[in-house]
Structure 1
Amino acid sequence: MNLKRIFGALLTVLGIGGLIYAAVLYVNSQGNNNFKALVIYGLLGLLFFIAGISQVRTTKDES
């Protein structure tokens, strides 16, 4: 496996984790008290997820 693919998979997993954590914050919030953390974790999770998927997709498999 290529190092770029491993890095892309790691970014994807971190992105999924960030999106899940943002969803947990959203479900457990009682108003606007966690809005800043929700936006930060959601945007970073989305950014990491998109970067990881595109990294894995564009890396060519050379044997």
Structure 2
Amino acid sequence: MNLKRVFGSVLTILGIIGLIYSAMLFVNTSGGAKNIKALIIYGIIGFIFFLSGINLIRTTKDEA
């Protein structure tokens, strides 16, 4: 099993979790500055993890 693909899968899953958590914060936010900061931070980090994981999975070649 390729280590890069496993790491890409982990990054993708962490990105999905971050995006889901930021969506939950968005739905449950009351407008406080602390909630908005957390929403932006979790959303950006989740998006970066998701894109880097997908890119790592896509660009890694299978070697048998």
Q: Is the shorter-chain TM-score for this pair beyond 0.5, marking a shared fold?
A: yes
Q: 2:44 — aligned with what?
A: 43
RMSD over aligned CA atoms reads 0.7
Paired residues, number: 63
Separation in 2 of the partners of 1:28 and 1:50? 25
Q: 2:61 — aligned with what?
A: 60
Runs of 4+ in structure 1 displaced over 3 angstroms? none
Unaligned residue ranges in structure 1 (runs of 5+) = none
Compute the TM-score of the two structures, normalised by the length of structure 1. Answer: 0.96
The one-character-per-residue Cα deviations of 1:21-50 (angstroms, maximum 9, x if unpaired) are 000000000113400000000000000000
Which stretch has the larger CA shift, 2-11 or 27-36?
A: 27-36
